Structure 1
Amino acid sequence: MYELLQAVFNGDEKTALHQLIYTLNASGKRYFLRNEILQAFADYCHQSQKPAYFYYSSSVGKLIQYTHEIIFEEESTWFVVRPRIASQEVWQLAADLNSFKQMTPQALLDARDRLVNRYQPHILEIDLHPFYESSLRIDDPRNIGQGLAYLNRYLCNRLLTDPQYWVQMLFKALQGLQHDGIRLLLSDRISSGTHLAQQIKLALKLLNQLEPDEPYEKFRSDLQELGFEPGWGNTAARVSETLELLDRLIYSPEPGILETFVARVPAIFRVVLVSVHGWVGQEDVLGRNETLGQVIYVLEQARSLENELREQIKLAGLDVLGMKPHVIILTRLIPNCEGTFCNLRLEKVQDTENAWILRVPFGEFNPEITNNWISKFEIWPYLEQFALDAEKELLAQFKDKPNLLIGNYSDGNLVAFILSRRMKVTQCNIAHSLEKPKHLFSNLYWQDLEDEFHFSVQFTADLISMNAADFIITSSYQEIVGTPDTIGQYESYKCFTMPQMYHVVDGIDLFSPKFNLVPPGVNENIFFHYSQKQDRDSNLSTQVHDLLFTREDPKIFGHIDNPKKRPIFVLDTITSINNLTGLAECFGQSQALQERCNLILLSSKRHLNEAINRDEAEEIQKLYNTIDQYHLNGKIRWVGMRIPSNELGEAYRVVADSQGIYVHFARFESFARSILEAMISGLPTFATQFGGSLEIIDNQEKEFNVNPTELEGTAKKILDFLDKCDTHPEHWHEVSEWMSQRIHNRYNWHLHSNQLLQIAKTFSFWNFVAPENNEARDRYMEALFHLIYKPRAEKMLEKHKGG
């Protein structure tokens, strides 16, 4: 970057940079983000009649393309540039552009504090870099999120370089496995790694004399004579395959062999999914708007994990010993449950054999608050005591410790951190959606937002749990480190300020192998391709068609004058980020879209008196105003009610019957479940370019990615697609099919559960054979918990106690 700045400063292009800085500074603003910077530079190039190459290929053009922030101070201008993914540099340019120098993250954070007039010379600095300095680290940014593959390669290299030590450690790891007091895999008859290698040969010789489908029970005693306990397989062929994998791993280790072998090791039986704040229920509840997607995710994940574990236990030959998986969704018990089962302590998860919802109540403090549902922004004062109470309940249910703790969202991850530290159990974090990058400048202006959102507590909790976790599951690569144009969600925690509270100089190592990309799946019993007529209920189709197109109801606004037009369908909750009003405005500004399409919105509400916060109320009113402004009556339907999952699945298919399209127009979306549902149902889907949908659609031409800030450009993309469908009638069907197959093959729960368990086993194995000294890091996290998080949570509690 130094060479690039030098080229700008020493050449004719310095004038262009000076003019851009002058134009931005003249606006009176002092802080500019990437989109504003690019637009200002584009305007300059246009007004100055620069040749086309200048915008992208000139030295100053390249500098501007890399620039994500510009901050103005009296004596200087700050450029925050990102020359590569997961890499940020800070440069300070003198006001007269006669000099420039690279600055430290600390200096940048001070400048940001001065920007909001909240600078203080001495402030707590949080720096995690020393704890990751000697840890394993991925080198290539393209491999970020592939921690499992990296660990497998590393472990195999260690097996090759120091085979005697590593075979002994492998032996010890296997020797320690047991479940419910029953030894698994190895007994004391095998005394060392060398002895294990010898006994494997004898066992394989024995197994080769048996029929491949010979049940394990028939030769169990023979294997036990050789020192092999249950868990290798349910048939002679399966046991032989597993032992051959171990044999090959000892003598010629390869990553693929290690991955396959570890997947077969019966190391996980008891799993806890922590999801604290939502209405975690199954009958007509499924969360509130702010947590609906998470509740569905956790329920489907529990079903899938239990099913996958049951299959693994069966293949290991352990089901005949009475072993079975036990999965618990840990959430809070809500006494005033509004007609749901959320006041039920224990509830079986439907369509499972041994997965349960365990609800633990909050300590009362003020029953007027704790007996009711509590927003995710207000839940923080109760989590520590909840974790302590939950520990006792979990031990009572399992009659032992769990093997794996999976946190969900910021609050669930913090509870998982507390439980993991106390119970010494592998901790997995799943964020779903981190609040910090969703709310622009939320850290910079945290004091102004504290009464409503309590971001100081939440962002501290995020730092604690993400650094303490053994591994982190993300749904997309961009969730970690974004794209060349955007900052990733976890990347936003790398360096930031909470003015007058602390500076985060280095908050997370994005190159750590703890990050693993494991996207969720779709319930294919509910969401499937519209052409599968044999699986569809004709009565349900008629009912849903009536709901979307013709039914009159107080919860439905608008009628359709010409139902033969293609429907544009959208499903989401009413928030400014989800941007339903933006899509309505895009539709309203395009006469061509109105002539060819109808717009159908499905949300959970449409009346102002249903809004639970100011943002919802403003968006509902804004949507009505947009409909009036563009005279959309007769062209739009707004269904404002929550419908059951089976009706929702049919809604996508009914729209597909009319060769409609689906549009997800959020300003930002980490990973939208509705995109998966629409695509697998066969709906050609257009989705926001800001977030994980780029990876879901994976359309190289980007014809299905839209910019929610460019209404005209979005309308043009949709119209271009419709033109192709008109000139080539098969085009709609071709897109429908490849989108559906994309989800079916890449985003399914079997793959998700298999990968998650594989990662959990590998990290448990890694922590045993080559434990990193994380105690200092974890103590640091405990210090943040007790010295920053807890005092602020206790202040919230005092307000709650006062009613």
Structure 2
Amino acid sequence: MDWNNNENALYILMISPHGLIRGKNMELGRDADTGGQTTYVVELMRALARHREIGQVDLLTRLITDPALSSDYSQPVEDIGNGARILRLPFGPSHYVRKELLWLHLDQLVDRSLHFLRQQGRLPDLIHTHYADAGYVGQQLSQLLGIPQIHTGHSLGRPKQSRLLASGRKKTAIDRQFNFERRITTEEDLLVNVAMVITSTRQEVTEQYGMYHNHASARFVVIPPGTDIARFSPPGRRKINPNVTHMVDKFLSDPAKPMILAICRPAIHKNLKGLIDAYGSSSALQEKANLVIVAGNRDDIRELDEASQKILGELLLDIDRYDLWGKVAIPKHHNAEDVPELYRLAARRRGVFVNPALTEPFGLTLIEAAASGLPFVATEDGGPRDIVANCCNGLLVNPLDPTAIAFALDSALSDKQQWRLWARNGVAGARRHYSWDAHVSKYVKEVRKLLRRDRKRMRRQIAFTMQDGKSPMPLARKALISDIDNTLIGNKKGLQQLVAWLKNHAGSIVFGIATGRSLESAVNVLKNARVPIPNVLITSVGSEINYSYKLQPDIGWANRIAHLWRREALEQVLSDIPGLTLQPAVNQRKFKLSYNVVSEKMPSLHDLYRLLREHRLHARLIYSHDKFLDVLPVRASKGHAIRYLAYKWELPLENFLVVGDSGNDKEMLLGDTLGIVVGNHGMELEQLRGMERIYFARGHQADGILEGLAHYGWRIADH
């Protein structure tokens, strides 16, 4: 990759995993996931790439191999120019699916993204996520890599859920369709964890995000999106594309009438039914204007997804119910280049644009209409308030009141002098308030401030951690993973030398610990021993993985070991076993049950495993020191955790150097890893002596680790 020669130029990674995204001829409205957000992210990417302080912008989305779609979506890399690329990574089904079905596969995208960044050899300066699903992916990448994340919500779960309930939909039905529980939980987490939330309007901050419990925790910055003034402009004297005119007029008995134009996806919250009810109930409005609804593309409604079928089917039934044939146009196909022409056609016929959505975070189509000299009537919910305030070019209505919608449309069409004023105001307001250059200028200014704060934080961080900014995990070549007690600590002088060596190799070598201690206990012991917080902490006998001084949990590991884990059932079955007593709550974890043992009373491990099988329970039993029993998920152990790290971070197992002193460390010492057994080891490890990849040191604790490093040539080769 030929990066910008300016070493201070920023590399921004944007993430938008759902919908159909490509650099040209976007299939807007093809389905509920390919609309304003896809336009926004592509145009933002282009605008950022033009800025002198931006060296590279990548937009990460899903690679789709589907015979029903263009092969464009199966191309791994699409070069947009000026240092901008669309990157497509495969995750989930190979064919196209709606965004609600992708949530189960987002952890796979995290892993694929880490792989890509490692292969590329450069980490971004900033991660910018779009919509909740991208936010989930970006949050994990941000925490794993130590890179700031900013987020744009586009459409928020709580306001949308509230509006759908107000419209009469049943909660169970909409939760099943839109996956609101997962989405809203993620949005709450993002408000706590991201460095900045970009919104389009102040109303989005106060009213929409104000519905969230963690609203006060977030840092909001209002930056209205831009529009492409070169594409969206008044008709003037130019000729309208005759294909677009024919596309509309073939439906209409009197095409010369003014047009009421709606352009949106066939989604329930777009409230097309409310629009039809408003138009169908007003004979005066029908007499005055035609209604043109551009609701995506279709060949056969029966081939669309279930939600789109339902909406378009009901739309046609309502047109028939109100007998609107010849008055309503619903074109079957359009492309991205037709959209500006549709606005201009409506403006030339002295029509009006309408957006009756139940909720509208911003309303990009309203800006496009304004720039095209077309006044609008829009929902009073959300972003349209700011647009009307800035452009003074239309009316706001209650989207749940068809009579109010009809009255506003009639008013906008009736006063010709007002119409002309609104048309002029819209063009001027769009150019003044909604250009991409203005958006990017403020964006870069805010990002620079954010990164300056982050650098100050990193300088403070260096004093007590191995990590001085971005995580070394993606780019490191080797990893040293050590047990704590009687291995890493216990030899003060040797430990000081080891810590100095680790600091000298920070960035190229990952330092981690693997211990039976809880995370909190491990951190306290390390701090007391003056050991900087490692890059990775495997704790609670391998049932937890956390990263760096922030102690960010590895969500992928938690999801992986949750397989077959039934904690409550296990605790109940083991509650009456003689010789087992639950340890205090401080020693219990989500993925670990810990017991004190009276060895002469406890059944054998063989009998305990048989008992679990009888109850169809699955667990790993770790018996240690003749007095402790840990019950873990079958996939959890220190050795498994190390192998998971090797897979996730694409670091070969032979590049892991693992250090232990007791039988609890045996599993992680075996296999393809390199091993060091310190001189003060327990006798139970003697059976490993003589194995090719395990070195038995003479030195105790940290001295033994240093001796092992020299044995494997790490101290020499890495200087």
1:547 aligned residue = 247
SS of 1:377's partner is helix
Correspondences of 1:237-386 after superposition (within 5 Å) = 267-286=8-27, 288-292=30-34, 293-308=36-51, 311-312=52-53, 325-336=55-66, 338-349=69-80, 352-362=81-91, 370-386=93-109
CA distance 1:423–1:667, change in 2 (3 Å): same
**Residue 692 of structure 1: CA displacement?**
0.9
CA distance in 2 between counterparts of 1:747 and 1:793 reads 52
SS of 2:40's partner is helix
CA distance in 1 between counterparts of 2:13 and 2:344 reads 35
Correspondences of 1:28-43 after superposition (within 5 Å) = none
- Out of 190, 203, 214, the residue aligned to residue 465 of structure 1 is 190
CA distance in 1 between counterparts of 2:331 and 2:261 reads 11
If asked which structure has higher relative contact order (CA below 8 Å, sep 6+), I would say 1
CA distance 1:384–1:541, change in 2 (3 Å): same
**Residue 675 of structure 1: CA displacement?**
1.0
CA distance in 1 between counterparts of 2:255 and 2:426 reads 25
SS of 2:270's partner is coil
> What code does the residue aligned with 2:215 have?
I
SS of 2:415's partner is helix
CA distance in 1 between counterparts of 2:561 and 2:291 reads 48
**Residue 690 of structure 1: CA displacement?**
1.2
CA distance in 2 between counterparts of 1:612 and 1:541 reads 28
1:389 aligned residue = 112
1:683 aligns with 2:408: no
2:235 aligned residue = 530
Greater C-alpha Rg: 2
1:238 aligned residue = none
CA distance in 2 between counterparts of 1:417 and 1:743 reads 33
CA distance 1:699–1:371, change in 2 (3 Å): closer
**Residue 606 of structure 1: CA displacement?**
6.3
CA distance 1:566–1:523, change in 2 (3 Å): same
SS of 1:619's partner is helix
Q: Deviations over 1:609-662 (max 9, x none)?
A: 346444322322222222222221222111132x22222111110111111111
1:492 aligns with 2:211: yes
- Normalized per residue, which structure has more helix? 1
> What code does the residue aligned with 2:39 have?
I
SS of 2:86's partner is strand
SS of 2:255's partner is coil
CA distance 1:621–1:451, change in 2 (3 Å): closer
**Residue 301 of structure 1: CA displacement?**
0.8
**Residue 702 of structure 1: CA displacement?**
9.7
**Residue 508 of structure 1: CA displacement?**
3.2
**Residue 180 of structure 1: CA displacement?**
8.2
**Residue 689 of structure 1: CA displacement?**
0.4
> What code does the residue aligned with 2:371 have?
I
CA distance in 2 between counterparts of 1:702 and 1:679 reads 7
CA distance 1:420–1:340, change in 2 (3 Å): same
1:410 aligns with 2:137: no
Query: Structure 1: which 5+ runs fail to align?
Result: 1-178, 183-230, 232-265, 314-324, 363-368, 483-487, 495-506, 551-558, 796-803
> What code does the residue aligned with 1:415 have?
V
How many residue pairs were aligned? 475
> What code does the residue aligned with 1:387 have?
V
1:440 aligns with 2:132: no
- What is the root-mean-square deviation of aligned Cα atoms in Å? 3.5
CA distance in 2 between counterparts of 1:778 and 1:378 reads 34
**Residue 467 of structure 1: CA displacement?**
1.7
**Percent of paired sites with the same residue:** 24
CA distance in 1 between counterparts of 2:160 and 2:300 reads 24
2:291 aligned residue = 599
CA distance in 2 between counterparts of 1:441 and 1:787 reads 34
**Residue 446 of structure 1: CA displacement?**
7.0
Contact 1:607–1:620 (Cα < 8 Å) also in 2: no
Query: Structure 2: which 5+ runs fail to align?
Result: 462-468, 470-545, 567-719
SS of 1:526's partner is coil
Contact 1:283–1:341 (Cα < 8 Å) also in 2: no
CA distance in 1 between counterparts of 2:76 and 2:116 reads 10
SS of 1:420's partner is helix
1:579 aligned residue = 271
CA distance in 2 between counterparts of 1:700 and 1:284 reads 29
**Residue 738 of structure 1: CA displacement?**
0.4
**Residue 516 of structure 1: CA displacement?**
0.5
CA distance 1:517–1:781, change in 2 (3 Å): farther
1:705 aligned residue = 396
Return the TM-score normalized by structure 2: 0.60
SS of 1:520's partner is coil
1:659 aligns with 2:350: yes
Q: Deviations over 1:44-75 (max 9, x none)?
A: xxxxxxxxxxxxxxxxxxxxxxxxxxxxxxxx
CA distance in 2 between counterparts of 1:619 and 1:296 reads 23
SS of 1:698's partner is helix
CA distance in 1 between counterparts of 2:560 and 2:187 reads 10
Return the TM-score normalized by structure 1: 0.54
CA distance 1:370–1:615, change in 2 (3 Å): closer
CA distance 1:470–1:431, change in 2 (3 Å): same
SS of 2:99's partner is coil
CA distance 1:458–1:720, change in 2 (3 Å): closer
**Residue 541 of structure 1: CA displacement?**
2.2
Q: Deviations over 1:138-196 (max 9, x none)?
A: xxxxxxxxxxxxxxxxxxxxxxxxxxxxxxxxxxxxxxxxx9899xxxxxxxxxxxxxx
Contact 1:457–1:792 (Cα < 8 Å) also in 2: no
